[in-house]
């Protein structure tokens, strides 16, 4: 399989926010388009918890990316105009240094010896990557979901490093409902005997915990409204049903199982735990003496687009309103777009038409 | 401990909706107040998935019941006026015959040899109980949550058996979001090796599966809005935190853990699985040639009160609107009350003030 990933070696040692350092760490990234002469057309995309840097197909890797409909020549994020960088988060296992990576101090995988990970560490790694490319100021910083929190961290920690910002389905801090969901996902993994304190391998792997965690994720990433239309109460055919007590009987159960099967072995469980907890920890109030709005007001950008969706139960619309309000109070020219897409939190990955209109429109007016 | 439970022996054999029969089965119930001379003041309460028949304190058992604030002399459900019966659902382990009961055919617990359980079986057991008390027509049938579905089953299966109806936080059929949640709860139990195909005992018990199931339940029974006010991002004190990797750190996590600990050994896991699946199966469309509204229109009551709450994600308000619309179309005089209580699905157990006003008001106008 072709691979478009490039790698950036982080400064070594790389100091982590909550203590500890990484030695010889790196982040994986991909790019689309070309940096122009003024270096003013750079856009960085920070991703949600699980995606890789492969946001869209490119010459080196023609396979579809996770935001294929949004990104490319002539698309909402027009790569004939923008030099787009998408980074795999530090701590994620899609090429960046993570708990599954070899700890140079021991020659063994870090596992739980990986230092505490914060989204500010993701942001700092991204900032170092951008600087290494000769870019002093991003033309646009775009963050989706968890990546939207990382982006807020980026801007508050690195003043004047971003000209315009696009904030997609995200939050200025984790609320207790989201913490409860993520805590339960982590617990399902931690309580799986095969997790074994982080010492699993391919033979003895926490499949059950990862499967429950993923299903709970998918339930909260989508929405009841979408599923009423999509699955209703449709039963599985007799041959599709599980031949065991209390086995699957409805299409929605089989849909979740399909999602879980694709995920369980494609994401390192320890990396999942680290990134999940980093999301719970993130709180813009830390930058405002305990006041989240004051934290947001420290961010300086010229223009911002903040998008949310009314069916999102994990990052509810009021949290995007807070971001919009905070950036506005900080002096930015803010557009706030509240969509009614039925797909819930994942709408940004599915309702490409409406997200394209909002993002493409904003970028075209810059 | 004093015990107010009475027991009614079901007709034997008792035929179950999906096939199979129970022999020598019984249901537990409690009563408050006195049946009047015309036998017109009887009210039956059908419960949610986990409560017992002990809805409120009474002479035999002065301990607080699960709806203590609602039920008693001078309360919204005034037991000086009403003769109130609350039944523990067939299949539940709070005194009624359930998968943990001894199968007289083998002398061993039924476990998974218990026949398929439907909410219509719960309804039929309740109807037999009511008849055994010499009551031909209930003055009021009240059902909460799962009990509201059982109540719909009761009314459609037993025409003219109910004069007025109160429907609380329930649905005319399970929607895919609720099915997904309950399926994942069941899966957490099924995949716990200690569940062991239903053959657990106190030493080898599916604590982990039950704990995850309960936490997921509590998350969906409450609401994000309530938790923002109640827990926000408050941390546990250092001595309250779990001393283990990825252990609990936020108050909301400790709250869920408390709920889970109280539940895990107080509810039989197999009974939980049976009742959970019965909730998924329930569908008023079965009584309307595949059309849920047509099914509701077969119910004949004089007056009905339908209550729901806008923060309920498990039984969303639109489902109570459907019930109200269906009963109205069937000719009943229907009051529909949509509350904005922040507590989500569990509001009927917590927001006693507003539920009292609605239920007490309806009953006082009869």
Residue A121 host element (H or E): helix A119-132
Identify the pLDDT of residue B243. Answer: 83
**Sheet strands (E) in chain A:** 6-9, 14-15, 21-22, 26-32, 42-46, 71-72, 77-78, 83-87, 102-103, 108-109, 138-144, 162-168, 303-309, 333-339
- A:B CB pairs within 8 Å: 136
- Minimal C-alpha gap between B289 and chain A (Å): 15
Identify the pLDDT of residue A1. Answer: 56
Identify the pLDDT of residue B1. Answer: 56
As a whole number of angstroms, the longest Cα–Cα distance in chain A is: 65
Angle, CA B134 vertex, CA B133 and CA B140 arms, to 5° = 80
Cβ neighbours of B173 in A, within 8 Å: 233
Given an 8 Å threshold on Cβ–Cβ distance, is B183 in contact with A250?
yes
Identify the pLDDT of residue B258. Answer: 97
Give me the residue from A173, A176, A208 closest to B252, CB to CB: A176
Chain A residue at shortest CA distance from B274: A246
B59 exposed, middle or buried (CB, 10 Å; 0-12, 13-18, 19+)?
exposed
For residue A85, the SS3 value is: strand
List the one residue out of A317, A298, A297 whose CA is nearest residue A308: A317
Q: Is B54 tagged catalytic?
A: no
Give me the residue from B181, B212, B244 closest to A212, CB to CB: B212
Cβ neighbours of B115 in A, within 8 Å: none
Strands A83-87 and A26-32: antiparallel
Identify the pLDDT of residue B167. Answer: 98
Given an 8 Å threshold on Cβ–Cβ distance, is A183 in contact with B216?
no
Give me the residue from A184, A228, A313 closest to B215, CB to CB: A184
Residues whose CB falls within 8 Å of the CB of residue B142, separated by 6 or more in sequence, listed in order: B43, B44, B45, B46, B77, B151, B165, B166, B168, B359
List the one residue out of B18, B188, B267, B30 whose CA is nearest residue B119: B18
The ipTM, to two decimals, is 0.96
Sign of CA dihedral A123, A128, A134, A136: positive
Q: What is the mean pLDDT, run by run of 10 residues, along chain A of 366 residues?
A: 91 98 98 97 98 96 97 98 98 98 98 98 98 98 98 98 98 97 98 97 97 97 92 93 91 97 97 98 98 98 98 96 98 98 96 98 96
Q: Is B127 tagged catalytic?
A: no
The answer to whether B320 and B170 have CB atoms below 8 angstroms apart is: yes
Given an 8 Å threshold on Cβ–Cβ distance, is A245 in contact with B198?
yes
Given an 8 Å threshold on Cβ–Cβ distance, is A256 in contact with B184?
yes
Give me the residue from A174, A228, A245 closest to B197, CB to CB: A245
- Minimal C-alpha gap between A233 and chain B (Å): 6
Cβ neighbours of A232 in B, within 8 Å: 175-176
- Known binding residues of B for substrate are 214, 346
Chain B residue at shortest CA distance from A257: B184
List the one residue out of B153, B148, B216 whose CA is nearest residue B180: B216
The answer to whether A310 and A325 have CB atoms below 8 angstroms apart is: no
Give me the residue from A179, A232, A245 closest to B252, CB to CB: A179
Given an 8 Å threshold on Cβ–Cβ distance, is A183 in contact with B245?
no
Chain B residue at shortest CA distance from A208: B191
Q: Which residue has the tokens 């990576």?
A: A101
Q: Is B312 tagged catalytic?
A: yes
Q: Which residue has the tokens 């750079």?
A: A42
Identify the pLDDT of residue A243. Answer: 82
Chain B residue at shortest CA distance from A272: B246
List the one residue out of A65, A91, A45, A41 whose CA is nearest residue A276: A91
Given an 8 Å threshold on Cβ–Cβ distance, is B176 in contact with A231?
yes
List the one residue out of B327, B332, B348, B336 whose CA is nearest residue B305: B336
Cα distance from N-terminal residue to C-terminal residue, chain A: 37
Residues of chain B with pLDDT under 70: 1
Identify the pLDDT of residue A36. Answer: 97
Given an 8 Å threshold on Cβ–Cβ distance, is A219 in contact with B177?
yes
- Minimal C-alpha gap between A184 and chain B (Å): 7
Q: Which domains does chain B have, with CATH numbers?
A: 6-172+284-364 (3.40.50.1820), 178-273 (1.10.1740.110)
Given an 8 Å threshold on Cβ–Cβ distance, is B231 in contact with A176?
yes
Cβ neighbours of B233 in A, within 8 Å: 173-176, 179, 283, 285
B170: Cα separation from own chain's centroid: 9
Given an 8 Å threshold on Cβ–Cβ distance, is B173 in contact with A233?
yes
User: Among residues B145, B167, B211, B223, which one is catalytic?
Assistant: B145
Strands A108-109 and A102-103: antiparallel
Q: Give the count of alpha carbons within 13 A of B14, CB side only.
A: 27
Given an 8 Å threshold on Cβ–Cβ distance, is A177 in contact with B215?
no
Given an 8 Å threshold on Cβ–Cβ distance, is A252 in contact with B180?
yes
Cβ neighbours of B244 in A, within 8 Å: 190
Residue of B245, B248, B292 to mutate, interface with A, max A Cβ within 10 Å: B245
User: Among residues B121, B192, B280, B312, which one is catalytic?
Assistant: B312
Q: Count CB-CB contacts under 10 A for residue A263.
A: 18
Residue of A176, A241, A258, A316 to mutate, interface with B, max B Cβ within 10 Å: A176
The answer to whether A45 and A23 have CB atoms below 8 angstroms apart is: no
Give me the residue from A174, A184, A249 closest to B216, CB to CB: A184
């Amino acid at each position: 399989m072709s691979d478009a990933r490039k790698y950036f070696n982080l400064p070594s040692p790389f100091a982590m926010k909550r203590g500890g350092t990484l030695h010889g760490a790196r982040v994986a990234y991909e790019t689309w388009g070309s940096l122009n002469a003024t270096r003013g057309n750079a856009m960085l995309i920070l991703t949600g918890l699980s995606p890789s840097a492969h946001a869209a197909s490119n010459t080196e890797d023609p396979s579809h990316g996770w935001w294929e409909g949004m990104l490319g020549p002539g698309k909402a994020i027009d790569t004939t105009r923008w030099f787009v960088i998408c980074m795999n988060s530090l701590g994620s296992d899609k090429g960046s240094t993570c708990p599954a990576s070899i700890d140079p101090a021991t020659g063994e995988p870090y596992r739980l010896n990986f230092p505490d990970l914060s989204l500010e560490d993701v942001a700092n790694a991204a900032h170092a990557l951008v600087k290494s490319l000769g870019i002093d100021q991003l033309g646009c910083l775009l963050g989706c979901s968890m990546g939207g929190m990382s982006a807020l961290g980026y801007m508050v920690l690195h003043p004047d490093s971003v000209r315009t910002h696009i904030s997609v389905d995200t939050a200025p801090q984790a609320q207790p409902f989201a913490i409860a969901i993520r805590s339960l996902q982590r617990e399902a993994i931690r309580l799986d005997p095969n997790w074994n304190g982080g010492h699993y391998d391919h033979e003895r792997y926490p499949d059950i915990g990862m499967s429950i965690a993923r299903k709970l994720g998918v339930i909260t990433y989508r929405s009841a409204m979408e599923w009423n239309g999509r699955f209703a109460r449709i039963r599985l055919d007799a041959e599709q049903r599980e031949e065991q007590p209390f086995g699957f009987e409805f299409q929605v159960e089989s849909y979740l199982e399909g999602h879980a099967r694709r995920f369980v072995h494609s994401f390192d469980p320890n990396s999942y735990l680290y990134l999940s907890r980093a999301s719970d920890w993130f709180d813009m109030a830390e930058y405002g003496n305990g006041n989240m709005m004051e934290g947001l007001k420290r961010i300086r950008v010229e223009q911002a687009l903040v998008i949310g969706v009314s069916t999102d139960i994990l990052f509810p619309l009021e949290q995007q309103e807070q971001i919009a309000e905070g950036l506005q109070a900080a002096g930015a020219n803010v557009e706030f777009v509240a969509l009614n897409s039925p797909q819930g939190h994942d709408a940004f990955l599915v309702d490409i038409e409406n997200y394209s209109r909002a993002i493409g429109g904003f970028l075209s007016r810059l």
